[in-house]
Amino acid sequence: MHQTFDAALGINLLHANQAGADHNREHFDEWGITCLNVMSSPGAGKTVLLERTLEALSSELKIAVIEGDMTTELDAERLRQYGVPVIAINTGRSCHLDSKMVAGGIHRLAHDYNPSDFDLVLVENVGNLVCPAEFEVGEHAKVALLSVTEGEDKPLKYPVMFREANCLLITKMDLAPYLDVDVSQIEANVRQMNPHATIIPISGKTGEGLEAWLDWVRSQCDRKIALSPQLSIYG
Amino acid sequence: MHETDMTKALIITVKDWWESQLDRPKIESVHLIVGQFTCVEPVSLQFAFEVQTRNTFLEGAKLVIQETPLIAFCHRCQQDYAPEIGLQYACPDCQSPMEDIRSGRELKIDRIEYADNSAVTTGKSQV
């Protein structure tokens, strides 16, 4: 007789990735590091944003970058000019970083440096508006970029990314006057699914919005320090 | 194609369960619950599952995907509503943003159906 049995699992499909992400976050917490996961479609300006950020903050915060852009070391080379450790993860043909890849980056950081010296780790995810939203890597906050050239409708079309973002940067604002784009409509579309994100229009070229972004990054690091049980190490 | 990664995760989880069973039963179907407000495309998942389970302990097992709709709750109107993915997420009555998602974010391995080993002949399958 053919008899069928049933086993209830009720396990999240991504639970292995989630467990890895939680583990990474524990390391960051132990070392007093704030980790930001920076995501966008290809060419929205993640690397330029990191360049401007390193330029402005590397004297006041100890920063490392985990660089997940595919196949080449070009972005990593660009960022190393700012004198911070840049750990390039070769993601191969993968369309997103997962917690295991980032764990590899964290171990390299811990191997080559004293991780407790660092305040901030910026993870530059693979350019993609779809899957990075589902794969946590151990970050404390998610940053999404959307450039004005991509169109107002993208938050409606890729809602999970924009729902999950804690901070949304509307990039390439210097181009807005030349385009048929309504920036307030981008904001309104994001607000439909994400009432709480900090939204900052920004231009890496003119510096518009840069101070607001840097303040947001500082606030993430401050909050981390305030929450840290090892207050003493920050003197 | 992140469905490939998701399928890998799925197979590993099911394998953990399967290996914990003394009699290593023949798995007939794996049941997933996939919300519509996720980045998972059921058709891609089906395809990846079919390809990746070939010549494994899951060979021939069916993947059954139950999709759950996106349902949000509007606090101002005190009612559920169904946002239109791709078009409109705010409450259609009062335009409040989509805040609480009641359904649609699920990505869950719900259950496994398997046959009694004594009743079914199993081949020597290995991962």
Establish if A191 touches chain B: CB-CB under 8 angstroms: yes
Average pLDDT, chain A: 91
- pTM score, whole prediction: 0.89
For residue A35, what is the enclosing H or E element? strand A34-39
Tell whether A105 is covered by a domain. yes
Distance from CA of A222 to the nearest CA of B (A): 27
Interface test with B, best of A11, A12, A13, A185 (most B CBs within 10 A): A13
Token pair of A229 as six digits: 């049980």
Rounded to whole angstroms, the Cα distance separating A168 from A150 reads: 14
Tell whether A234 is covered by a domain. no
- Tell me which residue in B37, B115, B116 faces A160 most closely, judged by beta carbons: B37
Give the Cβ contact number of residue B5 at 10 Å.
Answer: 19
Q: Provide the residue ranges of all domains of chain B, joining segments of one domain with +.
A: 2-16+27-70+102-115
Tell whether A47 is covered by a domain. yes
Please report which confidence band the pLDDT of residue A71 belongs to, taking 50, 70 and 90 as the band edges.
low
> Which pLDDT tens digit goes with each residue over A90-100?
777 778 899 99
> DSSP assignment, residue B53?
T
| Class of domain B2-16+27-70+102-115 (CATH, top level) | alpha beta
For residue A115, what is the enclosing H or E element? none
Rounded to whole angstroms, the Cα distance separating A160 from A96 reads: 14
Tell whether A8 is covered by a domain. no
Residue A161's domain comprises: 15-225
Which has the closest alpha carbon to B80: B50, B60, B100, B97? B100
Tell whether A6 is covered by a domain. no
Tell whether A97 is covered by a domain. yes
Rounded to whole angstroms, the Cα distance separating A139 from A132 reads: 12
Q: How many domains does chain A have?
A: 1
Please report which confidence band the pLDDT of residue B97 belongs to, taking 50, 70 and 90 as the band edges.
very high
B26, closest residue in chain A (CA to CA): A4
CATH number, position A175: 3.40.50.300
Tell whether A7 is covered by a domain. no
Longest dimension (CA), chain A: 75
Q: pLDDT at position B48, please?
A: 94
- Judge contact between A155 and A183, C-beta under 8 A: no
Tell whether A10 is covered by a domain. no
Rounded to whole angstroms, the Cα distance separating A132 from B39 reads: 9
- Judge contact between B72 and B99, C-beta under 8 A: yes
User: Which residues neighbour B119 within 8 Å (Cβ) at sequence distance 6 or greater?
Assistant: A1, A2, A3
pLDDT (mean) for A166-183: 97
Size of interface A-B (CB pairs under 8 A): 107
Token pair of A119 as six digits: 């305040």
pLDDT (mean) for A137-142: 97
Share of chain A above pLDDT 70, in %: 92
Distance between start and end Cα atoms, chain B: 22
